[in-house]
A and B are shown apart, each in its own frame.
Chain A
Amino acid sequence: MFPHNKPSSKEESTDKNDTTKKTLLPEQLVYTIDCKQGAVRAVRYNFDGNYCLTCGNDKTIKLWNPKKQMLIKKYTGHGYDVLDVAGSNDNSQLASCGSDKTVIYWDVGTGQIIRRFRGHAGRINCVEFNEESTVILSGSVDSSVRAWDCRSRKSSPIQILDEAKDSISSLQVTDHEILTSSIDGKVRRYDLRVGTMFSDFIGSAVTSAKFSKDGQCILSSAHDNTLRLLDVTTGEMLGEYTGHKNSKYMIECGLNYKDDHVLSGSEDGLIYIWDLVEGTITKRVAVRPNKVIHSLTLHPEENLMIAACEDKIYFFTDENYEPPDDIG
């Protein structure tokens, strides 16, 4: 199923880790899908990583089976670009947002729109479900994060988090925390359990912020060509990752499923992989020269990565990866 054709221009750069511990990285380009939906604004794995979602310039969302490289369904209903999409944890609903300032709550099976949440004053950059998929959180250019209730028929948001001074660039929600990154240079973490908003000033516009798997660190990527790993409790910088190019676009970053490597897209057409502890570049994966790799999603449990660049999505895996047979 997986043709192992190596990318021709793969750079065998600093392989320092070879001697110490060989950690497998999603560096092998397995295949490419032309999504045929204009520019792919974002690519996302679903909750368990069995499916992936792409949202495109042509107002559509597409649901894929990445292992079979198969298009499952197409969701139409947005008025403009779809900028982000998230799947609920029971895979039965989707939430998407876009330039039409609406958040749409979809039924996966039928493709029908369950709810449409309006209220943001600007383009909505990011959307997330909470852990139990009862609340949709959306972050917008209007510098607010809104929490929409999926359970009630209320049209107004449950709460508006308008502490940011500039647009919200990314969101992440855990069981009791909401992590937002904003262009105003801050990463904000709302802890519902403690009832406190923690903010960390990064300095430059933050384009993406991600929790580590254990929730102890925040990885943030900023417009000064730097990724930073911050301690959640103290805000201290634990690591700094440079070398890539990120000064213009909203480029996403991520941690691999083992939390030992940092990955980020770049504006020079490469995907950079750093060692989390040492901060050195482990790998540069060439995707498409001189194009911006803006969206990146990592499989929650396996060494799989999907990157989006222009109108295509690229699937990466490690060399030892074998697709499981029991894929429905």
Chain B
Amino acid sequence: MSASSDDEHPYVKYGTPLEEIDESETKPSMLKSNVPVFDQIVTDEEGRRRFHGAFTGGFSAGYYNTVGTKEGWKPSTFLSSRSNKSKRKTFQANDFMDDEDRGDFGIAPKTLSTSTDFTSKHKRNAIQEKQLNIQEEKMTLSFGANLLDCLVLPMRNNIGIKMLKSMGWKEGQGLGPHVVRRKKKKKKKSASKMKVYGCRLPGADDPDSDDENIPENFQFAPKDMMPISILHKDDNYGIGYSRLDPTAALHVKEKKSSAVKARTKSGSKLSFYGQAFGVGAYEEEDDDIYAQDSMSNYDSVMSIEKNPDNTYGWTKPLAIAGAGHKEAIGYGDTPKILFVHAKREAKLFPKVYPPPPIPNDFDPYKRMKLQRESKRIKDLNLTTVEPSTVLPPSNENQPRLTSQDREALLEDNKSPAPTKKAQSIFDFISFEDRQRMEAAKRKPVELGFKGDNKIVEQPTMVDRSKPLCDATSLKPFSNNPEKLRRYEQYERAIRQRKKDPYSVIESNLTEWERKHEQHEFARLSQVYLHLSTNISSKFTKASENEDNDSVVQREVTEPAAKMKMFGIMTHDSVEWHPDPLLCKRFNVPDPYPNSESVGVSKPFGGFKILAVMGSSSAAKTPDAGHVASEEDSETKSKTGIVSDTKCPPAFNKSRPFIGGRWDRKPVFAGPMDKPAEKEDEKSEKKEDTQTTQELEEKSPERPPMELFKSIFASSEEDTSSSEEEKEDDDDATSDQNVKTNEQEESEPVIKRASAADVFMRPIPVKENILQQAVNDPTPPKESEPDHEPMEQDEVNEQPDEKNGSDDGYFGPILPPVRPASNGVESVDRGTPPKHDKKQLKHKKKKKHEHKGKKKKKDKHR
């Protein structure tokens, strides 16, 4: 009560005044309904925030919505179980639950509700009980046996029950359409008509009372019935009698079977014996421990139980459908079992069907059906339709072998092959045909081997049984066949890597001669091998093949094919070495077991015509051929068949690459010992002498690189140097030059010829070798006409090659672009043909090669 207060408040007041409410502040708190949704908070009973998080609606958990506790992460108590094991607490799920879990919406609500035990799912109705009982009965006094099976029920219903449930069936109901419960009423009426004395039975009225409440026409499901398990009666006892089971009485086996076995954690076996679970030590044990069985346990009288529940059981078939029947369900006090004679004699034992008989030809092992086998069978079957006019009857047991094949198999190489083939050819071709052939060729191949008789004399050169190595194909001692044979033996021994190769050769030479010869052979083979490896590394097979084949094709096969003269002219065979593994996989014996090479090698049957014509002496065509060749383009005769030799595979497979300074050229490959040598002889001889002279000057030990240099320098001279030689040329060769300038395709072949000369030339090791050249009847000529036009060709062909950079291309050279005359386009499948990329590539590659060549040329200069 101060003055100041008096001033402000003139009245005397009691109590504390309420604070004045600021209107602006009060608004939100006052109007709770105005709280926006996002500000509203749901709390539980204790005021804890129930939901938190923006969207999750996570429940409150832990200590103030953290996962921790009041003490943090530390467990509230730690009890060592070591000392007080007995006190070990066994936790239950309930111990970890909180109020929310036990609430209405928790996982274990405490509220009263129907448990699943009482839902229809796991309801075990009377029928199931009955079933169980029956099963127990079936167990025929076996105590405990399979009891567990009866107790353990399947978790899931089988599909039949599921289907029934989906159709509206419920457990406890019978099957079938719903019926109106009218019969009962009838029954009731009939029962009510009966006079009843005394008390009513208590249960008798119940259904009636139920029925009264039921409205009319209310349909009920039919009553469930006990399924009758009809067992085959396989004993001779009376019906319903089950004998004593001695095993059960002895009670031996069941103990084991009833034992529940388990394993402890430590691994020791545990097993529980006894009547059932829960029989403790102090509890009374069941009777069966002693297996005392008394007859009182058995039915001595056959009767039906007076169980009111026995409405389930045997019913007549008309039970459900029988609307007008008085007794639809045949249960009653009196047994209604009627015995009827079986219409069919009951089989005591189920029929055992024997296994099906196995056919005699049944093969339990699966085998692969082979194509050829099926063909054979077919051939046998189709003898009638086989066009015997076309197809010669084939003996299936024998491989189809021609004489050449047999020759190959027998390795009968002693016979002079060329003449043999000559016979075959001229047997086949009539004279007129041959004439036509010549005409078709327009310019026959130059076939003669004038003066060069060494090849004709040596049919063994086509020896195909030998392993193919170009070193062997060099025949240095052609004038001394005995020595040649010895040399071949020597070569073979070297190839077999024998330590003393010469020792294998037996000869009647004196010791001095042998020594001498050994020395000679050693040097010779060294040089030859060196030569071969060097040369072979320089040249590729592709160009050579292309040359040969294209030439042969152009000369012989194409016109023949055009004239439909298929046969010898178009047929060709080449020795081909399959890979041993391929033979193995094909299940075919290796035709060349000792062969080291793989693929196509020397031809023996190929190129028959030329071999024939050459060897069958000049009487055939050589003169005519010459005339024709002069008439026609010269190049054809030149490029004309040089050799049909295909490069031995050794060249391809294990080709040593020697340096980069010898560029590969598409010029040469393969051994040059073919009888069909078609080179212009003049130039050949010329080069022959030239090289021999050069070689003579050099020491034999000198590496043959120099030799090659000289050879290649001479073969690749530019035009200016060759012009000098040109003057010395005779007319024929100069004519050739002019013509070959126009013919660009001839280039590789010419080159090869020059290289071939190297091979054919004797090596300056011994006089014997040189002797050959000296003995050569044809005088050598000075000019070297072949190589000069070639150079010109090169220049003409590749005018722009200087522009490109030398990228040092190595590798196999693909065949050049095919002549347009062939008319062969790349073929597409299903789409119009396009130009193969390959062909374009060839062009590119060719350029590269020429570039390389140029460079090399410069180097040499």
Contacts and interface: CB of A to CB of B under 8 A. Distances in A.
Interface in B376-405: 378-379, 382, 385-387, 389-392, 394, 399-402, 404-405
Interface hub of B378, B389, B546, B571 (most chain A Cβ within 10 A) = B571
Contacts of A125: 829
Given A258-B385, A294-B829, A294-B830, A47 B586 contact: no
A195 B591 contact: yes
Nearest to A163: B600
A213 B375 contact: yes
Given A195-B408, A250-B828, A276-B390, A235 B586 contact: no
A326 to B, nearest CB: 16
Interface stretch (B248-256, B300-308, B562-570, B800-808): B562-570
Interface stretch (B153-161, B553-561, B761-769): B553-561
Interface in A162-184: 162-163, 165-167, 169, 174-176, 183-184
Given A165-B815, A200-B570, A83 B582 contact: no
B390 A250 contact: no
B368 A205 contact: no
Contacts of B825: 183, 205, 223
A95 interface: no
A146 to B, nearest CB: 11
B391 A193 contact: no
Given A147-B582, A259-B382, A131 B370 contact: yes
Contact of A248 (B370, B378, B832): B832
A19 B100 CA distance: 100
Interface hub of A90, A158, A229 (most chain B Cβ within 10 A) = A158
* Residues of B contacting A: mostly: loop
B387 A259 contact: yes
Given A131-B370, A159-B578, A175-B588, A223 B405 contact: no
Given A195-B575, A292-B830, A89 B818 contact: no
Contact of A194 (B387, B409, B546): B409
B32 interface: no
A317 interface: no
A168 B528 CA distance: 37
B368 A133 contact: yes
A96 interface: no
A195 B387 contact: no
Interface string B568-580: 1111111111110
Contact of B827 (A169, A233, A260): A169
A216 B392 contact: yes
B823 interface: yes
Contact of B586 (A131, A207, A276, A301): A131
A181 to B, nearest CB: 11
B572 A90 contact: no
Interface in A72-99: 83, 89-90
A215 interface: yes
B574 A237 contact: no
Contacts of A197: 573-576, 600
Q: Sort chain A's interface into a size bin.
A: 35 or more
Given A235-B568, A249-B829, A161 B585 contact: no
B799 interface: no
Interface hub of A184, A239, A276 (most chain B Cβ within 10 A) = A184
Contacts of A216: 391-392, 394, 400
A231 to B, nearest CB: 8
B232 interface: no
Given A165-B818, A258-B382, A176 B588 contact: yes
Interface residues of B, number: 82
Given A135-B586, A197-B573, A230-B566, A158 B581 contact: yes
Interface hub of B387, B558, B587 (most chain A Cβ within 10 A) = B387
A166 B818 contact: yes
B830 A41 contact: yes
Contact of B369 (A89, A122, A205, A277): A89
Given A215-B400, A249-B827, A132 B587 contact: yes
A95 B815 CA distance: 30
Contact of B826 (A83, A134, A183, A203): A183
Contacts of A162: 599
B382 A196 contact: no
B591 A194 contact: yes
Contact of B829 (A83, A190, A234, A301): A83
B844 to A, nearest CB: 14
Interface in A131-161: 131-135, 141-143, 147, 149, 151, 158-161
Contact of A204 (B404, B564, B566, B823): B823
Contacts of B557: 201
A263 interface: no
A113 interface: no
Interface string B806-836: 0000000001001000111111111011001
A87 B54 CA distance: 64
Nearest to B376: A214
A238 interface: yes
A199 B823 contact: no
B838 interface: yes
Contacts of A185: 553, 561, 822, 824
Contacts of B368: 89-90, 132-133
Nearest to B403: A233
Contacts of A191: 405, 576
Interface string A287-326: 0000010100000110000000000000000000000000
A48 B369 contact: yes
A248 B387 CA distance: 32
B571 A235 contact: yes
Contacts of B366: 90
A192 B382 contact: no
Contacts of A58: none
B92 interface: no
B213 interface: no
Nearest to A276: B387
B176 to A, nearest CB: 42
B662 interface: no
A192 B583 contact: yes
Contacts of B729: none
A36 B97 CA distance: 63
Interface hub of A83, A199, A240 (most chain B Cβ within 10 A) = A199
Contacts of A165: 545-546, 549, 815, 818
A183 B598 contact: no
Contacts of A196: 404-405, 408, 573-576, 591, 605
A54 interface: no
Contacts of B590: 195
A143 B838 CA distance: 10
B83 interface: no
Given A41-B829, A199-B574, 4 more contacts: A158-B579, A199-B571, A215-B375, A277-B390
22 contacts: A42-B829, A158-B585, A159-B599, A166-B826, A184-B818, A196-B576, A197-B575, A199-B574, A200-B571, A201-B569, A202-B570, A203-B558, A205-B825, A214-B375, A214-B394, A216-B391, A230-B566, A237-B566, A249-B827, A257-B378, A277-B387, A292-B830
Lowest 4 CB-CB distances: which A-B pairs, in order?
Answer: A235-B571, A195-B591, A203-B561, A237-B566
